[in-house]
Amino acid sequence: MHSSSSIFAAVFIALYVAHSVGDHWVQTHTQSCTKGLPGWAGRLACGRHVLGLTITKGLILVPAVLLLHLPVTALGLVLGLGIDALTHYWADRRTTLKRLADRCGKAEFYSLGTPTHAGHPVTAKGEYAPTLGTGAYALDQSWHVLWLFVAALLIAAV
């Protein structure tokens, strides 16, 4: 017999691993570059990314559920993966997360590591030195992890 806390822990770990794989390995370069564009091109690219991400989460979650004999319900899975997909899409449209960061007083942190930030990284010649370590990326990933937590709670509790 499993406790709700052990179900939550196993589900959260599976979702966290799947999120990392889906967001970085499964997402295509085109999706990454276009998902934040205005209009249908951006919406469709973001939708394709979230679909691939959600499939990845299912492919990793199902074996964990089956092999660990976790008593989760179809409704819990639909609710958990659904809220995760919706919130992931919302944040990955980029302007939405940027507006939230601005409203929360995180505009300067959001721009950290980009050429628009006063303290951006530079080369020895004083030119912008690109980096993956941006404030926007950190806020994006922490947003996603928050919703993985909510998704795992729903899956474990419903």
Query: What one-character-per-residue DSSP string does 30-91 give?
Result: HHHHHTTSSHHHHHHHHHHHHHHHHHHHHHHHHHHHHHTT----HHHHHHHHHHHHHHHHHH
Supply the pTM of this predicted model.
0.88
pLDDT in tens, 72-119: 999 999 999 999 999 999 999 999 999 999 999 999 888 887 767 666
pLDDT for 45 beyond 90:
yes
Q: Where is pLDDT greater, at 59 or 118? A: 59
Distance of CA 152 to the CA centre of its chain: 14
pLDDT for 59 beyond 90:
yes
For residues 136 and 111, the answer to whether their CB atoms sit within 8 Å is yes
What mean pLDDT is predicted for residues 141-148? 98
